Amino acid sequence: MERHSHYFDNDPSSPSRESFVELALPDLTRSLRTDSGVFSNRKIDLGTKFLLLEAPTPDNPPRRMLDLGCGYGPIAAVLEHRFPEAQLWATDINNRALYLAAKNLIGSNSVACRPEEIPQEVRFDLIWSNPPVRIGKKKMRSFLLVWLERLEPEGSAILVVNKNLGSDSLHSWMEREGWNVNRLKSFKGFRLLEVGRNG
Ligand SMILES: C[S@@+](CC[C@H](N)C(=O)[O-])C[C@H]1O[C@@H](n2cnc3c(N)ncnc32)[C@H](O)[C@@H]1O
Protein backbone atom coordinates (compact mmCIF):
# COMPACT_ATOMS: atom_id res chain seq x y z
CA MET A 1 0.00 0.00 0.00
CA GLU A 2 1.30 3.49 -0.81
CA ARG A 3 2.26 5.50 2.23
CA HIS A 4 2.09 9.28 2.43
CA SER A 5 5.37 11.02 2.92
CA HIS A 6 5.87 13.15 6.08
CA TYR A 7 8.13 16.15 6.46
CA PHE A 8 9.99 14.23 9.16
CA ASP A 9 10.78 11.20 6.97
CA ASN A 10 14.47 10.41 6.45
CA ASP A 11 14.03 10.42 2.71
CA PRO A 12 10.80 12.00 1.44
CA SER A 13 9.19 9.97 -1.35
CA SER A 14 7.57 12.98 -3.05
CA PRO A 15 9.34 13.99 -6.27
CA SER A 16 11.72 16.89 -5.83
CA ARG A 17 10.36 20.31 -6.85
CA GLU A 18 12.89 22.86 -5.79
CA SER A 19 11.78 26.45 -5.32
CA PHE A 20 12.56 29.46 -3.14
CA VAL A 21 10.86 31.09 -0.16
CA GLU A 22 11.42 34.64 0.96
CA LEU A 23 12.53 35.25 4.50
CA ALA A 24 11.83 38.89 5.33
CA LEU A 25 12.74 40.20 8.77
CA PRO A 26 13.69 43.71 9.93
CA ASP A 27 17.36 42.67 10.09
CA LEU A 28 17.59 40.10 7.29
CA THR A 29 16.08 39.40 3.89
CA ARG A 30 17.06 36.14 2.21
CA SER A 31 15.76 33.91 -0.53
CA LEU A 32 15.99 30.36 0.78
CA ARG A 33 16.04 27.22 -1.31
CA THR A 34 13.29 24.77 -0.47
CA ASP A 35 11.63 21.65 -1.91
CA SER A 36 8.66 19.33 -1.62
CA GLY A 37 8.82 16.88 1.28
CA VAL A 38 10.19 19.40 3.77
CA PHE A 39 8.33 21.34 6.45
CA SER A 40 6.49 24.53 5.37
CA ASN A 41 8.08 24.61 1.95
CA ARG A 42 5.86 27.30 0.44
CA LYS A 43 6.42 30.03 3.02
CA ILE A 44 8.10 30.60 6.33
CA ASP A 45 5.96 28.91 8.95
CA LEU A 46 4.02 31.38 11.12
CA GLY A 47 5.42 29.91 14.34
CA THR A 48 8.96 30.05 12.98
CA LYS A 49 8.49 33.68 11.94
CA PHE A 50 7.15 34.49 15.42
CA LEU A 51 10.26 32.94 16.98
CA LEU A 52 12.56 34.83 14.61
CA LEU A 53 10.85 38.14 15.35
CA GLU A 54 10.54 37.75 19.10
CA ALA A 55 13.38 35.57 20.41
CA PRO A 56 15.36 37.61 22.93
CA THR A 57 19.01 38.46 22.35
CA PRO A 58 21.01 36.50 24.94
CA ASP A 59 22.86 38.52 27.60
CA ASN A 60 26.17 36.96 26.58
CA PRO A 61 27.09 36.23 22.98
CA PRO A 62 26.62 32.50 22.35
CA ARG A 63 29.66 30.39 21.43
CA ARG A 64 27.82 27.31 20.18
CA MET A 65 24.25 27.24 18.90
CA LEU A 66 21.85 24.56 17.72
CA ASP A 67 18.90 24.78 15.35
CA LEU A 68 17.09 21.62 16.40
CA GLY A 69 14.97 20.25 13.56
CA CYS A 70 16.29 22.79 11.06
CA GLY A 71 14.23 21.82 7.99
CA TYR A 72 15.59 23.82 5.05
CA GLY A 73 17.17 26.21 7.54
CA PRO A 74 15.21 29.44 8.11
CA ILE A 75 16.06 29.53 11.83
CA ALA A 76 19.67 28.56 11.21
CA ALA A 77 20.00 31.30 8.56
CA VAL A 78 18.97 33.90 11.13
CA LEU A 79 21.19 32.48 13.88
CA GLU A 80 24.29 32.61 11.69
CA HIS A 81 23.40 36.14 10.62
CA ARG A 82 22.84 37.45 14.16
CA PHE A 83 25.73 35.62 15.80
CA PRO A 84 28.41 35.25 13.10
CA GLU A 85 31.18 34.53 15.61
CA ALA A 86 29.41 31.50 17.07
CA GLN A 87 29.58 27.94 15.83
CA LEU A 88 26.21 26.85 14.45
CA TRP A 89 24.92 23.30 14.24
CA ALA A 90 21.75 22.81 12.22
CA THR A 91 20.34 19.32 12.48
CA ASP A 92 17.50 17.28 11.05
CA ILE A 93 16.69 13.69 10.19
CA ASN A 94 15.16 14.57 6.82
CA ASN A 95 18.05 14.25 4.35
CA ARG A 96 16.39 16.42 1.73
CA ALA A 97 15.95 19.18 4.33
CA LEU A 98 19.58 18.84 5.35
CA TYR A 99 20.76 19.13 1.77
CA LEU A 100 18.78 22.38 1.44
CA ALA A 101 19.93 23.72 4.80
CA ALA A 102 23.55 23.11 3.77
CA LYS A 103 22.93 25.14 0.59
CA ASN A 104 21.13 27.91 2.47
CA LEU A 105 23.77 28.36 5.16
CA ILE A 106 26.51 30.78 4.19
CA GLY A 107 28.42 31.26 7.43
CA SER A 108 31.91 29.81 7.67
CA ASN A 109 31.06 28.51 11.18
CA SER A 110 27.84 26.74 10.14
CA VAL A 111 27.32 23.00 9.77
CA ALA A 112 24.17 21.17 8.69
CA CYS A 113 24.24 17.49 9.66
CA ARG A 114 22.29 14.57 11.05
CA PRO A 115 21.85 14.51 14.85
CA GLU A 116 24.23 11.57 15.29
CA GLU A 117 26.97 13.51 13.50
CA ILE A 118 27.14 16.16 16.22
CA PRO A 119 29.98 15.05 18.49
CA GLN A 120 28.69 13.88 21.86
CA GLU A 121 30.86 16.33 23.77
CA VAL A 122 29.45 19.46 22.06
CA ARG A 123 27.38 21.63 24.42
CA PHE A 124 25.23 24.61 23.42
CA ASP A 125 24.74 28.09 24.82
CA LEU A 126 21.66 28.56 22.70
CA ILE A 127 19.12 26.23 21.12
CA TRP A 128 16.35 27.58 18.92
CA SER A 129 13.69 25.19 17.68
CA ASN A 130 10.30 24.85 16.12
CA PRO A 131 10.21 21.23 17.30
CA PRO A 132 8.62 18.32 15.43
CA VAL A 133 5.47 17.95 17.53
CA ARG A 134 3.89 15.82 14.84
CA ILE A 135 6.21 12.90 15.53
CA GLY A 136 4.02 12.24 18.61
CA LYS A 137 4.04 13.43 22.20
CA LYS A 138 6.16 10.67 23.71
CA LYS A 139 8.81 10.72 21.02
CA MET A 140 8.97 14.49 20.99
CA ARG A 141 9.41 14.73 24.73
CA SER A 142 12.26 12.25 24.87
CA PHE A 143 13.84 13.94 21.85
CA LEU A 144 13.68 17.32 23.60
CA LEU A 145 15.16 16.02 26.85
CA VAL A 146 18.14 14.56 25.03
CA TRP A 147 19.01 17.97 23.57
CA LEU A 148 18.12 20.10 26.59
CA GLU A 149 20.62 18.02 28.57
CA ARG A 150 23.26 19.33 26.17
CA LEU A 151 22.73 22.95 27.17
CA GLU A 152 25.64 24.65 28.92
CA PRO A 153 24.85 25.45 32.59
CA GLU A 154 23.83 29.02 31.69
CA GLY A 155 22.45 28.12 28.28
CA SER A 156 18.87 28.45 27.15
CA ALA A 157 16.51 27.02 24.58
CA ILE A 158 13.86 29.03 22.80
CA LEU A 159 11.01 26.88 21.54
CA VAL A 160 7.90 27.78 19.59
CA VAL A 161 4.94 25.44 19.95
CA ASN A 162 1.28 25.96 19.19
CA LYS A 163 -1.30 25.65 21.95
CA ASN A 164 -3.32 23.32 19.72
CA LEU A 165 -0.28 21.08 19.46
CA GLY A 166 0.19 20.83 23.21
CA SER A 167 2.45 23.75 24.17
CA ASP A 168 0.88 24.20 27.60
CA SER A 169 1.16 20.55 28.59
CA LEU A 170 4.71 20.50 27.22
CA HIS A 171 5.46 23.56 29.37
CA SER A 172 4.24 21.94 32.59
CA TRP A 173 5.86 18.62 31.72
CA MET A 174 9.27 20.30 31.26
CA GLU A 175 8.82 21.99 34.65
CA ARG A 176 8.04 18.62 36.24
CA GLU A 177 11.23 17.31 34.63
CA GLY A 178 13.13 19.99 36.55
CA TRP A 179 13.56 22.68 33.89
CA ASN A 180 12.91 26.35 34.38
CA VAL A 181 10.36 27.37 31.73
CA ASN A 182 9.13 30.89 30.96
CA ARG A 183 6.42 31.71 28.51
CA LEU A 184 7.90 34.80 26.86
CA LYS A 185 5.09 35.67 24.45
CA SER A 186 1.99 34.33 22.72
CA PHE A 187 0.74 35.02 19.22
CA LYS A 188 -2.18 33.37 17.40
CA GLY A 189 -1.96 30.32 19.68
CA PHE A 190 1.82 30.03 19.38
CA ARG A 191 3.77 30.11 22.62
CA LEU A 192 7.38 31.19 22.77
CA LEU A 193 9.01 29.26 25.60
CA GLU A 194 12.40 29.87 27.15
CA VAL A 195 13.87 26.83 28.83
CA GLY A 196 16.92 26.73 31.07
CA ARG A 197 18.31 24.95 34.09
CA ASN A 198 16.87 25.69 37.50
CA GLY A 199 18.99 27.50 40.04
C1 LIG B 1 8.28 21.86 12.69
S2 LIG B 1 9.61 21.42 11.62
C3 LIG B 1 10.61 22.91 11.68
C4 LIG B 1 11.52 23.05 10.49
C5 LIG B 1 12.29 24.38 10.41
N6 LIG B 1 13.07 24.61 11.62
C7 LIG B 1 11.35 25.53 10.19
O8 LIG B 1 11.14 26.29 11.14
O9 LIG B 1 10.81 25.66 9.07
C10 LIG B 1 10.49 20.26 12.62
C11 LIG B 1 11.68 19.58 11.96
O12 LIG B 1 12.21 18.59 12.87
C13 LIG B 1 12.70 17.50 12.13
N14 LIG B 1 12.85 16.33 12.99
C15 LIG B 1 11.95 15.34 13.26
N16 LIG B 1 12.48 14.44 14.09
C17 LIG B 1 13.75 14.85 14.36
C18 LIG B 1 14.81 14.33 15.15
N19 LIG B 1 14.68 13.21 15.85
N20 LIG B 1 15.99 14.99 15.18
C21 LIG B 1 16.15 16.14 14.47
N22 LIG B 1 15.17 16.69 13.70
C23 LIG B 1 13.99 16.05 13.64
C24 LIG B 1 11.68 17.35 10.99
O25 LIG B 1 12.21 16.61 9.92
C26 LIG B 1 11.37 18.81 10.67
O27 LIG B 1 12.19 19.30 9.63
- CA of 68 from ligand 1 middle (Å) equals 7
Say yes or no to pLDDT of 6 above 90.
no
Q: How far apart are the first and last CA of the chain?
A: 52
Measured in residues, the chain has a length of: 199
pLDDT band at 3, cuts 50/70/90? low
- CA of 197 from ligand 1 middle (Å) equals 23
Domain ranges of the chain: 19-197
Q: Which atom of ligand 1 is nearest to the CA of 67?
A: 6
Q: Taking residues 149-164, what's their average pLDDT?
A: 97
pLDDT band at 9, cuts 50/70/90? confident
Q: Which CATH class is domain 19-197?
A: alpha beta
Per-residue three-class SS string for the chain: CCCCCCCCCCCCCCCCCCEEEEEEECCEEEEEEECCCCCCCCCCCHHHHHHHHHCCCCCCCCCEEEEECCCCCHHHHHHHHHCCCCEEEEECCCHHHHHHHHHHCCCCCEEEECHHHCCCCCCEEEEEECCCHHHCHHHHHHHHHHHHCCEEEEEEEEEEEEHHHCHHHHHHHHHHCCEEEEEEEEECCEEEEEEEECC
Q: Give nearest CA residue, ligand 1 atom 13.
A: 69
Q: Give nearest CA residue, ligand 1 atom 12.
A: 69
* Residues 23, 150: Cα–Cα separation, whole Å: 29
| H helix or E strand, kind and range, residue 157 | strand 151-162
> For residue 2, how many other CB atoms are within 10 A of its CB?
5
Higher confidence at residue 71 or residue 13?
A: 71
Q: Which amino acid is at 104?
A: N
Percent of the residues in the chain that have a pLDDT greater than 70, as a whole number: 97
Q: Give nearest CA residue, ligand 1 atom 8.
A: 48
Say yes or no to pLDDT of 5 above 80.
no
- What are the distances in angstroms from CA 63 to CA 129, 145, 150, 179? 17, 21, 14, 22
